Chains A and B, each alone.
Chain A
């Protein structure tokens, strides 16, 4: 076991898969000799060579096309989109192409591509760096969307993503890259995609969340505990497909739920989760399912992040509303 930050755990997962499978290729803008703008691919080109880990011209759409073409030649591409706000440049390659390759070809061809990309607020990035756009991906038939919140989850989920035979969007929250360390096994291990994780057990209210909001929710749960409320925190880990089973089991136990996301209320995946709970467990509900989400504006100018981004206080406030309904 070693103490690792999330970014180190990601590098470790990439190194593991480069070793395990000669078809794994890592490419993107500045991921080679530079080791990536966040050092996620640090040392990988030196260890595995320019043939496995390489830089590309500055064009996201081209990177998407490159991944599709390499997959058609039997490779397992792990491209990087420098910041997920730049996904609009490559929406066709992802949603219009790789997500549909297996279906369009009646199963003849596949796109076993894992797209890695950083996102998330709280670190005062410029425009279009921090936007939470996982909702766009979650609405795309043919892909899976993974968002880890801990170093341990990041490594196991990334290895699973790379081994998955279909397209996976692996979103890495920038604020979580180096915010804390955790024990991470040095050997390889996997965490199944589509499986949530109960990060804290509780009996009074269920908090379903993902990404940086997992930590805000855990902090909120501690505060709620002081006031005698026991909150169960479910980290989705995969935001599409959603682990309905884990959510419903918790809802049936607590009878009260809130869904917490960093994305705007009209975006993200919270509405989908609320709908599933209403469909499947309405008779267990003591109160309506409420959402914690950002205001429905464009992502804030950096100086406005603190007042705009949802935090543990919003989680506490909404949890109390549900608890006292």
Chain B
């Protein structure tokens, strides 16, 4: 008996394989724009499908224009979004107005479509305090720079909604690299322990700056990290707007019905650099890899899908592009018109009730500013 126990081996491979099998990738539209999973097809009207396409095209243009405005020095910090339109916009499209978004630094498009005026997004990029003075009734937070912090905060927002008895959810986003953070695990684990209405999205765009996803973890999927929190995890084709919409909508349904949080991994790609602050993807990515992912472009497949249904035309697309360019021009103009920040402004947004030491410094700067 003793010798038998000694030789018996725990079947590690079986354990890993069994777990991995639970996390197959959900896809509805293939690269050719064909429905490959009719059963999972979300119920969206023709108008809704067109609106989703409109937002994706608009956001692609926003990315192109933002990169060029950044190069002209007319924008500051900017993290490119091209390639992630399905992942970002179809997930936001599955939300309701009362849902609260806690974005990462790349997730500006989601909060724009949730109601943040474009010129404010530009002010945020430039570094102006009015940028994230979010209008009343728009339920979004500023893009989070500390990777993972938005996850623990989401657990708190979701618990707040639950305590208030609201039928709404808190949704947050991080990248593949972000899943290595402690706050990532703590966030999903807290939401699980409190059974709170949260949706945690991992946008796996394959790289965290120059570090490939394989160097973050030996786990075969990132969605399976949900197992550690005891919550459901789903892998979706992040280049497929219908799959992303479906997964988010289902997670929302579960959440508002009191069944707790969900972790969604979208498999996606960023066509551009990590940020516009000097990152050069040719140092760590091959042309072949870029080409492979360009074939998966969410706009290409969704365009084909809609054209086959007679719901999209070149004229419609041109109209969206022109509209986007026009809006962007207006927004930049409005951002230009924002008053320059003064030190006294920064002091006045520190506390509700300004402490004496700040009042003293306020007077000093007020005198300087009036010269």
Q: Which residue of B lies closest to A143 (CB)?
A: B351
Q: Tally of A-B residue pairs with Cβ under 8 A?
A: 135
Determine if A72 and B355 form an interchain contact, defined as CB atoms under 8 angstroms apart.
no
Determine if A59 and B189 form an interchain contact, defined as CB atoms under 8 angstroms apart.
yes
Interface size on B, residues (CB 8 A): 41
Determine if B350 and A92 form an interchain contact, defined as CB atoms under 8 angstroms apart.
no
Which of B141, B161, B163, B349 is the one whose CB lies under 8 Å from A51?
Answer: B163
Q: Mark A224-249, 1 if CB is under 8 A from B, else 0.
A: 00000000000000000110110000
A164: chain B residues within 8 A (beta carbon): 352-353
Q: Which residue of B lies closest to A241 (CB)?
A: B355
- Which residues of chain A from 41 to 100 have a CB within 8 Å of any chain B CB? 51, 56-57, 59, 61-62, 64-75, 92-93, 96-97
Determine if B356 and A62 form an interchain contact, defined as CB atoms under 8 angstroms apart.
no
Q: Is A141 an interface residue (CB 8 A)?
A: yes
Determine if A69 and B170 form an interchain contact, defined as CB atoms under 8 angstroms apart.
yes
Classify chain A: how many residues form its interface, as a range.
35 or more
Q: Is B79 an interface residue (CB 8 A)?
A: no
Determine if B149 and A96 form an interchain contact, defined as CB atoms under 8 angstroms apart.
yes
Q: In whole angstroms, what is the CA distance A104 to B144 when docked?
A: 10
Q: Is A38 an interface residue (CB 8 A)?
A: no
Determine if B156 and A107 form an interchain contact, defined as CB atoms under 8 angstroms apart.
no
Mark the stretch among B37-45, B61-69, B129-137 that contacts chain A. Answer: B129-137
Given contacts A102-B349, A165-B353, contact A69 B159 (CB under 8 A): yes
Determine if B190 and A65 form an interchain contact, defined as CB atoms under 8 angstroms apart.
yes
Given contacts A59-B190, A105-B133, A142-B350, contact A68 B153 (CB under 8 A): yes
A69: chain B residues within 8 A (beta carbon): 152-160, 170
A51: chain B residues within 8 A (beta carbon): 163
Given contacts A69-B170, A70-B159, A104-B142, contact A61 B357 (CB under 8 A): no
Q: Mark B180-222, 1 if CB is under 8 A from A, else 0.
A: 0011001101100100000000000000000000000000000
Q: Is B100 an interface residue (CB 8 A)?
A: yes
- Which residues of chain B from 327 to 367 have a CB within 8 Å of any chain A CB? 346, 349-353, 355-357
Residue with the highest number of chain A CB atoms closer than 10 Å, among B129, B160, B346: B160
Which of B160, B161, B350 is the one whose CB lies under 8 Å from A141?
Answer: B350
Which of A65, A106, A245 is the one whose CB lies under 8 Å from B152?
Answer: A65
Q: Is B146 an interface residue (CB 8 A)?
A: yes
Determine if A97 and B164 form an interchain contact, defined as CB atoms under 8 angstroms apart.
no
Q: Is B173 an interface residue (CB 8 A)?
A: no
A59: chain B residues within 8 A (beta carbon): 186, 189-190
Q: Is A150 an interface residue (CB 8 A)?
A: no
Q: In whole angstroms, what is the CA distance A64 to B155 when docked?
A: 10
Q: Which residue of B lies closest to A62 (CB)?
A: B186
Q: Which residue of B lies closest to A141 (CB)?
A: B350
Q: Which residue of B lies closest to A242 (CB)?
A: B357
B302: chain A residues within 8 A (beta carbon): none
Q: In whole angstroms, what is the CA distance A93 to B158 when docked?
A: 17
Q: In whole angstroms, what is the CA distance A297 to B189 when docked?
A: 37
Q: A57-B186, A66-B159 are in contact. List 4 more A-B contacts (CB 8 A).
A: A61-B183, A65-B154, A68-B152, A144-B355
The residues of B with any CB-CB pair to A shorter than 8 Å are 100, 129-134, 141-142, 146, 149, 151-161, 163-164, 170, 182-183, 186-187, 189-190, 193, 346, 349-353, 355-357
